Amino acid sequence: MLIGVVGKANTGKSTFFKAATLMDVEIANYPFATIKPNHGVGFLRVPCVDKDFNTQCNPRTGYCKEHERFIPVDVIDVAGLVPGAHEGKGMGLEFLNDLNQADCLVHVIDCSGSTNEGGEPVEPGTHDPAKDIKFLEEELDHWYLGILKKPWEKFSRATAQTNEDVAKSLHKQFSGLGSTEDMIKDLLERTGLEDKKLNTWNEEELFRFGKALRKATKPMIIAANKLDLPQAQENLERLREEFPEHVIVGCSAVSELALKEADKHQAIHYLPGDDHFTVKGELNEQQKKGLEYIKTNVLAKHGSTGVQAVINKAVLEVLDHIAVWPGGVHKLADKDGNVLPDVFLLPAKSTALDFAYKVHTDFGKHFIRAIHVPTKRTVGKDFELHHRDVIEIIADK
């Protein structure tokens, strides 16, 4: 799963990316090679099931602190959004290439309105961040339109000569965008294009379909950043009214980064996502002041810095995934004695059989039954899983 951080310049993307991916390498043993500096690993925070079994887990990847499990998710800082990116302006094509890999987008906006259209700093409250929300969507919609248009003439003429199902042809042609055939079927119906021959679609129809496809394949969450600045709270409330269909989460990336860094240097104890921290080391006057500011203006007012909330909502709500642990009824440890070492993210409503395949293809192929570990109940392949379930797979060896 890959989360792409996007937005215009100076809204705080890199700060958000750093805050979300900063980790204690010692504890978060994640087997990844840094291929590019803008790729990193962030974490979904889930109350660990180890607590329910009165034990302490030993995560293979990610980490568990105070029975809060931090599950790795890949994050990419997609820099380079400028007006006209879809036409290749700025780092346009590289930008779109990075973007294309993402399963979900975090759109970082400067909620205080202190960054103008061009990404330059201005007085708080002088730029309307609602414009940024519209701007990114338009940019993405034009990009999708371009992808559809390029092969359209040839492609639509070719399909007109066959009897192949329209949804099937569309899916085959544009599968690179991450669609499924069912998704395309649904989108065709919703855009009222299901009975229209592909070679008769006009520009407006292509745009309408592209927009629907963009929304389905690039679900988005808005990180209303710089919540620590004046005007931000007011703007946040207004944006929520103006865009009721969007998931908008307020955050202060700079605060999260400061807290994580202070924790890393043992100056404070802070669990990402918490509404508090405790001082445990020596602080100089400047650090004291900075932390005090975060405490009163961010944590006390908003309940957290919001960065963890963005990641959590992106995975659990926008992508609608659940976390499921493999585990045995009689033994929660693997052969090396590691307790509940793994946890998997999978789409909500996944079944016991889906889970078996996710754990290992052989488990899926030779599935016999599963056991819902907390209740010790035997369940079949169609058993629908829930967030924080622990499941034992019984397979034929």
DSSP result, 151-201: HHHHHHHHHHTS---HHHHHHHHTGGG---HHHHHHHHHHTT-TTS-GGG-
Phi, psi of 28 (to 5 degrees): -100, 65
Part in contact with ligand GDP (CB under 6 A); list of ranges 23-31, 173-181, 226-234, 370-378:
226-234
| 45 contributes a contact to ligand GDP by CB under 6 A | no
Find all residues with CB under 8 Å of 346, minimum gap 6, and list them: 321, 322, 324, 354, 355, 358, 385
Amino acid residing at 185: K
Count residues contacting ligand GDP (CB under 6 A)? 15
| 58 contributes a contact to Mg ion by CB under 5 A | no
| 13 contributes a contact to ligand GDP by CB under 6 A | yes
The CB-of-67 to ligand GDP minimum distance in angstroms stands at 29
Nearest by Cα to 67 from 45, 52, 51 = 51
The CB-of-65 to Mg ion minimum distance in angstroms stands at 29
Part in contact with Mg ion (CB under 5 A); list of ranges 76-84, 120-128, 207-215, 217-225:
76-84
Part in contact with ligand GDP (CB under 6 A); list of ranges 58-66, 246-254, 274-282, 361-369:
246-254
Among 14, 55, 287, 338, binds Mg ion (CB under 5 A): 14
Among 3, 4, 6, 11, binds ligand GDP (CB under 6 A): 11
The CB-of-81 to ligand GDP minimum distance in angstroms stands at 9
Instruction: Give burial (CB, 10 Å; 0-12/13-18/19+) of 47.
Output: middle
CA gap 397, 384 in Å, rounded:
24
| 226 contributes a contact to ligand GDP by CB under 6 A | yes
Find all residues with CB under 8 Å of 330, minimum gap 6, and list them: none
Q: Tokens at residue 387, please?
A: 């967030």
Part in contact with ligand GDP (CB under 6 A); list of ranges 12-20, 90-98, 180-188, 333-341:
12-20
Q: Which is nearer to ligand GDP, 59 or 273 (CB)?
A: 273
Count residues contacting Mg ion (CB under 5 A)? 3
Part in contact with Mg ion (CB under 5 A); list of ranges 11-19, 46-54, 257-265, 280-288:
11-19
Say which entry of Mg ion, ligand GDP, none residue 21 contacts (CB below 5 to 8 A, set by partner kind): none
Q: Are 301 and 275 in contact (CB under 8 A)?
A: no
| 302 contributes a contact to ligand GDP by CB under 6 A | no
Say which entry of ligand GDP, Mg ion, none residue 11 contacts (CB below 5 to 8 A, set by partner kind): ligand GDP
| 10 contributes a contact to ligand GDP by CB under 6 A | yes
Q: Tokens at residue 27, please?
A: 């504890």
CA gap 240, 122 in Å, rounded:
23
Show contacts with ligand GDP in window 248-267 (CB under 6 A). Answer: 252-254
| 225 contributes a contact to ligand GDP by CB under 6 A | yes
| 229 contributes a contact to ligand GDP by CB under 6 A | yes
Q: Which is nearer to ligand GDP, 11 or 304 (CB)?
A: 11
| 308 contributes a contact to ligand GDP by CB under 6 A | no
CB atoms within 10 A of CB 5: 29
CA gap 83, 135 in Å, rounded:
8
Q: Are 308 and 70 in contact (CB under 8 A)?
A: no
Q: Tokens at residue 293, please?
A: 């500011």
List 393's β-bridge partners, or say none: 370
Q: Which is nearer to Mg ion, 15 or 312 (CB)?
A: 15
DSSP result, 337-390: --BS---EEEETT-BHHHHHHHH-HHHHHTEEEEEETTTTEEE-TTPBP-TTEE
Say which entry of ligand GDP, Mg ion, none residue 225 contacts (CB below 5 to 8 A, set by partner kind): ligand GDP
Among 1, 14, 152, 364, binds ligand GDP (CB under 6 A): 14
Instruction: Give the binding site for Mg ion (CB under 5 A).
Output: 13-14, 79
Instruction: Give the binding site for ligand GDP (CB under 6 A).
Output: 7, 9-15, 225-226, 228-229, 252-254
